[in-house]
């Protein structure tokens, strides 16, 4: 039985060598330390033992060094050997010489072998965790490809090529992501949690860094450093804005990122589940940057408050809806990209102003907070509100249906009264 345990132990070493991805010197060091721990427990000391490990062949040798003493003077059988015992090994040994003989580990007994296997397994596991943490800590911000192994309610479990477990939380998945078990998932390493010395690699597909790395893969000029991504604002799966800058006047950074007929950006959009991506030229001129960030809307003027990081943006009435965007996405992303809180206002001509009425004029009929809510999304006159579909007003303001209907009724009544007055005058 001892011999069988011995063979199994060697097989275990070979498995560690092949599957744990531990370098030769570290493996030898761990094995030797494990052996010495068991030897010290068995004999009280390991100082007079030599342990030779050969991980390539999966074998080892243990030698014990003892001093020859007279037969009646032995005090420590681990450190000393009697003359008569020494001469059984070689008949020319004399008192005071050192005897080195091989020790069969199987003779240590079943308990010692079990202890060694447990110690070695524990140290290898500790090393494996340490290597995993170091390896992936260096990969934070890099894209990895991994196979989907298991899908849970709050996260997905993936496996890399070396069989390491990676996690993609639901919060880090694009809302429209859909994968089947066995499929390859591409994501960026977001962080490595090492709680209680148990590394957990967290991936992300919603991080702006993921979008940045995809641009680096698709646009050679970014990879080579000729174009720099200055800022990214992203609402995963919906829309993103990317500000780019070129250090070479001969290179159009926006054109290079988009590619001929969108050839370069198409692959990124597809990877991000058809997320719309606006690429704009970066500038340190904040007013111009805000104007570009609100594209495709064209603004007429901007009033900045740099201390409070706010900006009042004025546009032609027909440009307001484009500036705000569907569901308010365009203005939200522009604000994220520029770092400024943006308030959009209609820039009304004198002639138009005579025909329209500012919402503030209805303060005696409409609560001021309702008026402020409408103004905040760019509607500061009666006609600008009436020109918007009721459903859009509900979605953009989050006001109650009853409140919206009441506002529309008041505004419509005002213009109906004006029409009635005009008709009476004509008669």
Q: What is the pLDDT of residue 353?
A: 46
Residues 192 and 107 grouped into a single domain:
no
CB 166 within 8 A of CB 203: yes
Mean of the pLDDT values across residues 225-249? 95
In a domain, 80, yes or no: yes
Mean pLDDT for 332-357 is 78
11 pLDDT tier (thresholds 50, 70, 90):
low
pLDDT at residue 16 tops 90: no
What is the spatial distance between Cα 312 and Cα 335, in angstroms, rounded to a whole number?
12
Q: Any alpha helices (H) in 44-96, and if so which ranges?
A: 83-89
Residue 289 covered by a domain: no
pLDDT over 50 (residue 384): yes
Domain ends where: 119, 134, 149? 134
What pLDDT, on a 0 to 100 scale, did the predictor assign at position 395?
78
Model-level pTM greater than 0.95?
no
Look at residue 302 and tell me whether its pLDDT is greater than 70: yes
> At residue 253, does pLDDT exceed 80?
yes
122 lies in the same domain as 143: no
Instruction: With cut-offs at 50, 70 and 90, classify the pLDDT of residue 6.
Output: very low
Task: Using pLDDT thresholds of 50, 70 and 90, give the confidence band for residue 375.
Answer: confident
Predicted pLDDT at 21: 61
Task: Tell me how far apart the alpha carbons of residues 122 and 120 are, in angstroms, rounded to a whole number.
Answer: 5
For residues 61 and 65, what is the distance between their CA atoms, to the nearest angstrom? 13
- Distance, in Å, from the CA atom of 350 to the CA atom of 327, rounded to the nearest integer, reads 30
> Does one domain contain both 6 and 117?
yes
Rg for the chain (alpha carbons), in Å? 38
Q: Of 31, 5, 30, 33, which Cα lies nearest the Cα of 105?
A: 5
Residues 146 and 124 in one domain: no
Look at the block and give the residue holding tokens 């370098």.
23
Q: Which of 115-119, 353-357, 381-385 has the lowest mean pLDDT?
A: 353-357
The reply to whether 15 and 82 lie within a common domain is yes
Copy the structure tokens of residue 425: 């005058």
Q: What count of other Cβ atoms lies within 10 Å of the Cβ of residue 353? A: 11
Q: What is the mean pLDDT of residues 403-417?
A: 85
**Host domain of residue 72:** 2-134
- pLDDT tens digits for range 27-72: 788 888 888 888 888 888 899 999 988 766 667 889 999 999 998 8
Alpha carbons 260 and 212: distance in angstroms, whole number:
20
Domain presence at residue 10:
yes
Give yes or no: residues 116 and 18 share one domain: yes
Q: How many domains does the chain have?
A: 3
Top-confidence residue, 378 or 77: 77
3-state class (DSSP) for residue 1: coil
72 domain-assigned: yes
Instruction: Give dist(CA 343, CA 304) in Å, integer.
Output: 11
Stretch 273-280: mean pLDDT: 95
Last residue of a domain, one of 206, 225, 251: 206
Of residues 40, 61, 50, 47, the one with CA closest to residue 105: 61
Confidence of residue 3 (pLDDT cuts 50, 70, 90): very low
Residues 112, 43 within the same domain? yes
pLDDT category, 13, cuts 50, 70, 90?
A: low
Which whole number is the average pLDDT over 207-228?
A: 95
Instruction: Choose one of 134, 167, 190: the last residue of a domain.
Output: 134
Stretch 293-300: mean pLDDT: 91
The average pLDDT across 5-20 equals 51
Share of the chain above pLDDT 70, in %: 89
């Amino acid at each position: 039985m001892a011999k069988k345990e011995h063979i199994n132990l060697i097989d275990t070493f070979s498995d560690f060598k092949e599957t744990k991805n531990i370098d030769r010197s570290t493996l030898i060091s761990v094995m030797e330390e494990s052996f010495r721990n068991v030897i010290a427990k068995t004999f009280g000391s390991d100082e007079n033992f030599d342990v030779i490990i050969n991980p390539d062949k999966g074998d080892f040798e243990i030698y014990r060094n003892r001093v020859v003493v007279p037969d009646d003077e032995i005090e420590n059988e681990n450190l000393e050997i009697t003359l008569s015992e020494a001469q059984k090994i070689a008949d020319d040994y004399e008192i005071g010489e050192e005897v080195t003989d091989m020790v069969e580990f199987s003779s240590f007994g079943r308990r010692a072998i079990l202890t060694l296997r447990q110690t070695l397994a524990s140290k290898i596991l500790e090393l494996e965790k340490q290597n995993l943490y170091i390896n992936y800590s260096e990969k934070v911000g890099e894209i990895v490809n991994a196979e989907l192994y298991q899908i849970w309610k709050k996260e997905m479990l993936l496996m890399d090529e070396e069989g390491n477990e990676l996690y993609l939380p639901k919060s880090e998945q694009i809302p429209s992501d859909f994968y089947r078990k066995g499929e390859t998932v591409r994501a960026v390493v977001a962080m490595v949690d090492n709680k209680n010395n148990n590394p957990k690699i967290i991936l992300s597909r919603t991080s702006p860094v993921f979008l940045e790395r995809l641009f680096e893969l698709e646009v050679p000029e970014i990879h080579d450093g000729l174009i720099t991504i200055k800022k990214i604002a992203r609402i995963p799966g919906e829309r993103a804005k990317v500000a780019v800058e070129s250090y070479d006047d001969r290179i159009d950074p926006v054109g290079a990122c988009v590619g001929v007929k969108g050839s370069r950006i198409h692959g990124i959009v597809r990877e991000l589940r058809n997320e719309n991506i606006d690429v704009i030229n970066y500038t340190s001129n904040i007013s111009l940057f805000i104007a570009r960030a609100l594209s495709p809307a064209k603004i007429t003027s901007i009033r900045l408050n740099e201390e409070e990081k706010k900006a009042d943006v004025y546009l032609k009435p027909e440009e307001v809806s484009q500036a705000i965007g569907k569901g308010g996405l365009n203005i939200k992303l522009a604000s994220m990209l520029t770092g400024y809180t943006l308030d959009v206002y209609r820039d009304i001509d004198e002639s138009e102003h005579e025909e329209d009425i500012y919402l503030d004029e209805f303060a005696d009929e409409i609560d001021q907070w309702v008026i402020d809510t409408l103004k905040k999304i760019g509607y500061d006159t009666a006609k600008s509100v009436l020109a918007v579909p009721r459903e859009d007003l509900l979605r953009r303001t989050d006001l109650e249906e009853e409140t919206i209907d009441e506002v529309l009724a008041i505004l419509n009544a005002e213009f109906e009264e004006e029409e009635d007055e005009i008709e009476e005058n004509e008669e």
